[in-house]
Each structure stands twice: as structure tokens, then as C-alpha cells.
Structure 1
Amino acid sequence: MADSTTTFDSHNPVTNEVISSHEIYNETAVVAAVERAREASREWRDLGFRGRRKVLLKWSTDLLDNIDSLSELVSLETGKPVSDAKLEASLAAGHIAWAARHAESVMRTSHRSPGLLMANMSATVERSPVGVVGVIGPWNYPVFTPLGSIAYALAAGNTVVFKPSEYTPAVGEYLAQSFIDSSLFADVFTCITGLGETGKFLCESGIDKLAFTGSTRTAKIVAATCAAHMTPVVLECGGKDPVIVAHDADIKRAADATVWSAFSNAGQTCIGAERVYVDERVADKFIEKVLEIAKDIRPGAPGDGKYGPTTMPKQIPIIQSHIDDAIARGATVLMGGSGSVKAPFVEPVIFCDVPEDSIAMTEETFGPTIAINRVKTMAEAIRLTNDSRYGLGAAVWSKRRGKHIASQLHTGMVAINSVISFAAVDSVPFGGVKDSGYGRIHGPEGILEFTYPRTVVRARFQLPIAFTSFSRTAGSDKLIVKVTKLLKGRLG
């Protein structure tokens, strides 16, 4: 255990009142947790797919049976409405169940053709769990996001050591304890609490893979730390997610979904809408509808507002700087403005005609702001969408051209005539490209992410000609070349 005198407090972001105190795990304590997880890994792996499926399905059910207590805790530590916390927890429980049910089929041994030259061989590829997976989770979705790695890693046969955000440590401890209570397995899923240095210790602890969710800046530090130890990583970082609205879009639905995507969870959603490119032919109608919907949306404490506070205090000046920069550069303010920042809350801010080089368009704001810019064509919308260092998610609104537009976007995920829907579909991978990270969680790819392939080639019988021998003749060499020229991979 960490030194019991070394603790930190979790605060209610609305009132700043202390919720609870938590241990800061030092290097010794982190290494010990990883060692215990490694010791527990054999029993967890030997349980087999069916055994792990039974455990994980029960855990998913138990979380749903106790969803009120979990949701209240999430709301307390993040400030988000209880309803939003309940939606988050429900979706996370669904992912646990999906991973449990599909791990065996996803990891099934694959038989490969050995080719004519190696026709006497049986070629297979097996999938094995990597061992101990470290997970560093975020505070904005402290249940849904980390469980996207934890559940899939566990289903694949790994044990997990989880370091939650210092803003939501109680939620992290709740999740780990709920697994222990449900499964009666110790050290299979462990929570370690602390500040940034605890995360660093986890990266250096000898884990077999790390899954990180957070800012791009921190992700680069994490990746560099892990690289020094040859520890592979999955990085889910920030986004500057666009919405494209074509002239044939359902404007009412597009406006309603965009407002929710931009402002829900106080804009603290990596896949939330931050910039909109709307066909100039329908721009006025779209903006009118957005303003009509947004006028009744206000932040407040759980039970009072449509969304909660900015959970992390140091994000407040970043949001303020983005708003002020957009205004200084000539953006038109349609709703709110510089005075909308009233810590810990930020009221909705809507701009239009925002210069593309302003930080409100180039950097992740992570606040309840939205920039709406008119475009002449969808080609222009696609170009502006792709002209970003981020590439996480996107939304496209079009009745006839949605697939065509989506296929040209440099993003890991696209929702057509919906927003954020890809996060709720268990069977599809979640992740981005460019500065939004690499690797995937969710879906078959999310299970395979926490495994490694083992190739096994077995001689079923011996050929009369020995290719792998010092007795190989010139005639054998000639035959190899001749057959290779003839086949050119056709029977491989």
C-alpha cells in the first residue's frame, strides 16, 4: 500500500467541497499492484472464455442493478446531471456484456493456407492475452471511457491495473470494488489512485500494454515514457470534431443533435461537436434553428441545469482564451460571449464566420462552445474538416450524400444523420487518427488490441525435397524459383 499519510482529496466541482480522500500510490505501491495482477493472471486466464464470460456478464448485471448509486457518485465527482451519468453507466455495462460474449469468437484460432511450396505444413495463428494491462482513465466520462479498455482487456484474458483521473478517484475505486464484490476475484482488476506521477509509475512498472485516454499533450509524454520500456500503447486523445450539414439535410434534426453534441456534459466530450460547416443555401435556416433550441439551455448544479460545471478548473482559462480569440479575430457572436464564463460554469457560446486560423477552430476547446461557418460546396466542407491536426470523429447530415461525404473524411469515426452514435454501437471500433491517437477500443478490434498473435506452423508430413537443410541441391533451388515464379502468391 501507499503511505497512508500521503493522500489527496476529491472535490465536488460545483461547491468545491471535499467528497473523499484517497491514497497517492507511490512507485513501490504501483509496482506491487502490478506484481499482484501478474500473479492473478494465470488463474484468470485458466478460467477460459466461458468462465470469464460468466464473471463479466454477472458484473455487468450487478452494475445495472446498482446503477443509481454509481450514477450519484459520478454526478457528485463530475457535476454532470444524474441522468447523463446513468446513460454513461448503462452504455458501459453494455460494452462489458458485448466483450464477454464475443471474446471467444474474435480470438478463435485462424487457419491459414501454407502455399504449395509448404503444402506439408499446417499454418495457424493463435491469439493470446498480453498479460497485465495498465489503464489511465479520464474524468469526463469516468465509467464509460475506461471500461472501453478494461472490459475488453479482461474479456481477452488479461488482468488490469487502473489509474483513474485524480478528479474522479472515487468512481475508479467503485468500479474496481464492484468487480471484486461481483466476481470474488482479487487482483484481477485493481484500482490505484494518485496524481500524474502515479500514472508515470504505472507506465514504468513493467505492464505489458497501456491504454490511455486524455489530452494529446499528455499522450505524447505517456507514449515516450512507455517507449523507453518497450511498452505498447493505445492512445485516445483529443478532437476538434466537425459537423457537416449538406443542403439536403434534415435541418431540424441536424440542429437539435448538433446543439446536444456541443453542449452536453458542458462540452467536455472528445467526440462532441466543436465546429460546423453548413451549406450556405441552408445556413440561415440551420442557425435560426440552433439558436431557437439553445436559448433554453443553461448550466447548473445536478438537478438545476441542462449540463454541469467545468469539472477541471484549469480548463476554464483555456475556454476563455478560445472565446476571446475568436471575438478578437472578427467572429460574429450569436449567443453568449466573453462574459459567458462564470466559473465553475460556462454558459453556451455560439459563433459564426469564425476565422479558420483562430484557436477556437484549431485547438480543442472542451467547453460548451460551437463555431458555425458557411461553405459554398461540400468539397470545401470536406477540405476544411480534414485541414486539422485532429482526426477523431465527425458527423454528416445529408439525405442522399452522407456515405459519399463520410468516405472522404480523415477521421477514425463518422456518424451519418446522427451524432456520437458510433460510441454506443458495441461492435464497432472507437479511436482516431493523427493527433487524436492510435489503437482502438470496442468491437472485435478492441478485443484484439489487448492480445498478440502467435504463429504456429507444424509439419504434417515430410517432403522428399528438404528446403531447410545444408543438403539442399542446385536442383532444389531451381525448383523453388520455378514454382515461385509460377504461383506468384496465388495459392498462398
Structure 2
Amino acid sequence: MSQDTAPTADVGAGGEAHAASATFVTTDPRTGRQLAEYPVRGEGDVRSAVGRARDASVWWREIGFDGRKRWLQEWKRAIARGADELGEIIATETGKPREDALLEIMLAVEHLDWASKNAGKVLRRRKVPSGLVSANQVSSVGYEPMGVVGVIGPWNYPVYTPMGSISYALAAGNTVVFKPSELTPGVALWLERAWQSLVPQEPVLQVVTGDGGTGAALVRAGVDKVAFTGSAATAKKVMAACAETLTPLVVEGGGKDALIVAEDADLKEAVTFAVFGGLGNAGQTCAGVERVYVVDAVYDHFLDELRRQVSAVSVQGDDADYGPMTLPRQVDIVRSQVEDALARGATAVVGGLESFDGRTIAPIVLTDVPDDSTAVQDETFGPLLVVDRVRDLDEAITRTNSTPYGLGASVFTKDAAKGMQAADRIRSGVVTIGSVLGFAGVAALPFGGVGDSGFGRIHGADGLREFARPKSVTRQRFAAPLDLLNIDRKARDVKIAAWLLRTRHGR
């Protein structure tokens, strides 16, 4: 769940780090206090890490699914035992409440657990039917590790999101070199240390800290696949770099997710989820809620309840419901969208331009926002909800599908059949009915988007296959009754084959 992972540097550039110095400093977004200093890893450092990962991949592959499961379960336990310490690092680097950090860790651990337990079931070689024409063949398909996977992760969910690639890549038998955001390197290094405490001699998971130049170096360092989370604009640069060596890529891009409220919805529940999806983590959730489309018959009641619940949201003090913006420049993006919407005739029913206080943005709810405004068309990644009235469910779905994004959506209706019909018509990778982000804890479900929201999938069986190469094998058990795989075919065999073609497929 993303936004740009690299606030500085050009991922499309040559691969060297473009930092002014060889180190960078992290700060606590809540206080501005400096936290730590980290090295900017250059091309040589990154290639060395990939080389070590390549060596370690031999051992990691040879211990098989059961061996990898044992080690990944140990790593899972280490993360769970250290959740308080890790949660504190997440909170200080991102500014989010510790409770949110703990939830993120819990979800990440569930996925690690599922991936390690199910990789063998999904990826082990299995027989497939050979069919009538090839009845003399025994056929099977299996999945092999790709080798070394480069993961470029985001700052908004610095454990949950990259672990969606790391866990599944490791369970599939790959080693991983992880480049975290320069805003959250401490989180990544904690995960690396937790692994190294178990198997210090096998660098199955390594972290390379740095800026966008470090990410560019990782893409060009000879990895066998890249998993990238970030904006569509940066994804295009990563994809161009991958194209130089035909390195495959999976992208989780941004989102402009909509929440649809039908006239038969439980309005209080719909509002509760809209507030959670739109304001949780200061709105810095690509699969959260940025747009709300409410059927006319219940629009006024929905808006009244939304005002009531949003007014109870706290952004100050130790009990704040969400923290400041993690990425400073995001404040300007949110402000510009609010200014654009208001200039085009929108109404601020909660907050507005007065909601901005340094890096903290109090909740903003806008109505009557034109469809061509940036607040509707561009990813916001801030605590801003656009709530518009629609005639019916058909209009809501049409407007939901009107942006270049297609990551997730939510539908609120008490009619299960109506909810499924709406889900089928929405252009997105995931739809939740009756909740927001309900899929996040379901490890068996694949996650990913369409359009500017990316391609490929993480999580679930598809997430395991994303980091594996299928290999097909046939073994001839006996000579074929019709010897067609012969340059000197018999006329009799060709005649019978032609009869079979007409008989089986021509009628």
C-alpha cells in the first residue's frame, strides 16, 4: 500500500547514488527529532549484496519447502516476540500511532505464516492430464525459484507492504535484497537483524539503504525479478530499467479507491468504515478510501453521520487517531487538491484549508467535487474524503471506474446479490463488500491492481507463483499409437489423425 518510495533521485538514472553525501538522516515526523544516520549504498555495494544473495540461494533452494518453512516459522516467531520494539520503530519513523503499527505487524506475520505453510502445496510438482492425443505421455508441472528478488518498498506501511513480496518470494525459494524507503530504513534493518539472529551465515535476506539511486542500482544489479511499490510515474521508470535486461517486474501502484453506498446500506456502519479507510494512517493508504459515492435517497443521512463521526477524530496529543504526514511534500499535494476542488465549486463540509497545521492535516470532507478535479482524478494520500451524491448504483459504478486507477473499492448494501453484481462491474483488483480493507488479513487472497495501480499479484497462491518459474515436464511411457512426431510419417497415421481431428473437433 503505497506512495512514492523514493522522495529523492531519479530511478531512471545510471545506478549510482545521487545523494549529496554518503549518508542520510531519518527524523521523527511528530517532533522533527533526528533518529539515526544511515549509509547511501552505491552500485558496488548493491552488486555485492546481490552476489551474496546469489550464493545463499543455493542453500536456500536445496533445503526445500519443508526446510524453508522451518526457518520462516522461526523468523515469524522472532518478529512476533519483538513486535513491541518493532512497533516503536515504525511509530517513530512514520509518525503513526503504535496501535496502528502493531496491527501492521500482525497482518504481516499472518501472511508470512500462510506463505511458509502453503508454498509446498502450491508450488510442488504435480501431474496434469495429458489428453487423448498425448495419452502416451506422463505430464507434470512444477515451480522453481527465480533466484534473487529485488524488493523496493514504501514508507507508509514499511512492514506489511514489503513483506507481501518478501514473505512470498522467500517461501517460493528465492533470496531477497530489500531496498526500503529512506524514510523507514530502521524498520527494514530490524527485520534483517531478526533473520540474521537465526542464520547469520546465510544472507537470505539483506537490506541496502539509500535513495532512489540505490533503488536504480538494485534494478540493474542482475536480480531475477523486481517487486516495486510506489507511484505509477516511478513504476514506469523502474519498468524501463527492467526492460534493458528483460527483468520481470511486479508493481503495486497507487489507488483512488471509491466506497459506494447503496440506499439499503447500514449507514452508520458505512460511515464508520469510510472514516477508517479515509483517515486511518492520515489517509496514507493506497487501498484506503478517497472517494465516496452515496445514492441520493440516503445521501443527506450519510453526510450527517459522517460529520458526527469525523468531528470525534483527534489529531493532537498522545491519543491522536492518526499522526502527521510521513512525507513532508505530501502536505502540499493535499493542499493543492483542496484548493483546486474549492476553486471549482466544491464545498468543505468538514475542515478545509484551515485544516493544515505544519505536517499535520485535520480531517477534510468535500462535497460537490467536479469529476475532472485533481481531488477526484489524482491519488491524494492524505486525510481528505470526497463525498458526492449519485442517482443510483449504476452511476456510482460508472464514476468509480472513471479514473486511471484500479486497485480496490468497497460496496455497502444489505443485498448480497446486489453487492456481488456491483463487485463484478468495478474495474479493480479487489472489492470488499460491507467493509474496507477486509482483504488485507486474508492471506489466501491475491492483491494487486489494474491500470495505474500496477500489475502482477502478491499474497495468496498467485503471490507465490509470482516469484516462481513454471517448468513443464513430459515423460513418454510408451510409443505413440500414431507416430506423428516423425519426419517420415506413415500415410496411414496421417489419415487416422485427420479423421480424429474431424471427429473430435469438427462436429
- 2:234 equivalent to 1:218: yes
Percent identical pairs in the alignment equals 45
User: Alpha-carbon deviation of 1:489?
Assistant: 10
> Which residue identity lines up with residue 376 of structure 1 in the other structure?
R
Matches within 5 A, 1:65-144: 65-144=81-160
User: Alpha-carbon deviation of 1:119?
Assistant: 1.4
The 4+ residue runs of structure 1 with deviation greater than 6 A are none
1:229-285 deviation digits (Å, cap 9, x = unpaired): 101011000000000000000000100110111001000000110000001100111
State the SS of the aligned residue for 1:111: strand
Task: Provide TM-score, normalisation by structure 2.
Answer: 0.94
Partners of 1:248 and 1:254 lie apart in 2 by: 11
Structure 2, gaps ≥5 residues long: 1-16
2:484–2:493 contact (8 Å) kept in structure 1: yes
Matches within 5 A, 1:398-437: 398-400=413-415, 401-437=418-454
Question: 1:227: which partner in 2?
Answer: 243
User: Alpha-carbon deviation of 1:15?
Assistant: 2.1
1:117–1:480 contact (8 Å) kept in structure 2: no
State the SS of the aligned residue for 2:425: coil
Task: Provide TM-score, normalisation by structure 1.
Answer: 0.97
Structure 1, gaps ≥5 residues long: none
Q: Judging changes above 3 Å, is the alpha-carbon distance between structure 1 residues 149 and 185 closer, same or farther for their aligned structure 2 residues?
A: farther
Partners of 1:323 and 1:465 lie apart in 2 by: 72
1:128-155 deviation digits (Å, cap 9, x = unpaired): 1111111000000000000000001101
Question: 2:263: which partner in 1?
Answer: 247
State the SS of the aligned residue for 1:364: coil
1:136–1:213 contact (8 Å) kept in structure 2: yes
Choose which of 273, 280, 284 in structure 1 pairs with 2:296: 280
Matches within 5 A, 1:74-473: 74-300=90-316, 303-400=318-415, 401-473=418-490
Matches within 5 A, 1:13-52: 13-52=29-68
> Which residue identity lines up with residue 79 of structure 2 in the other structure?
L
Partners of 2:91 and 2:329 lie apart in 1 by: 19
Q: Cα RMSD between the aligned structures?
A: 1.5
User: Alpha-carbon deviation of 1:51?
Assistant: 1.1
User: Alpha-carbon deviation of 1:46?
Assistant: 0.9
State the SS of the aligned residue for 1:390: coil
User: Alpha-carbon deviation of 1:479?
Assistant: 2.4
1:23-82 deviation digits (Å, cap 9, x = unpaired): 111101111100110100010111111111111111111111110000000000000001
2:482–2:497 contact (8 Å) kept in structure 1: no
State the SS of the aligned residue for 1:426: coil
User: Alpha-carbon deviation of 1:94?
Assistant: 1.0
1:34–1:132 contact (8 Å) kept in structure 2: yes
User: Alpha-carbon deviation of 1:185?
Assistant: 4.9
Compare 432-441 and 479-488 and name the one that shifted more. 479-488
Q: How many positions carry a matched residue from both structures?
A: 487
2:284–2:381 contact (8 Å) kept in structure 1: yes
1:300–1:309 contact (8 Å) kept in structure 2: no
Question: 1:474: which partner in 2?
Answer: 491
> Which residue identity lines up with residue 249 of structure 1 in the other structure?
A
1:246–1:397 contact (8 Å) kept in structure 2: yes
Compare 481-490 and 391-400 and name the one that shifted more. 481-490
1:249–1:397 contact (8 Å) kept in structure 2: yes
1:298–1:348 contact (8 Å) kept in structure 2: no
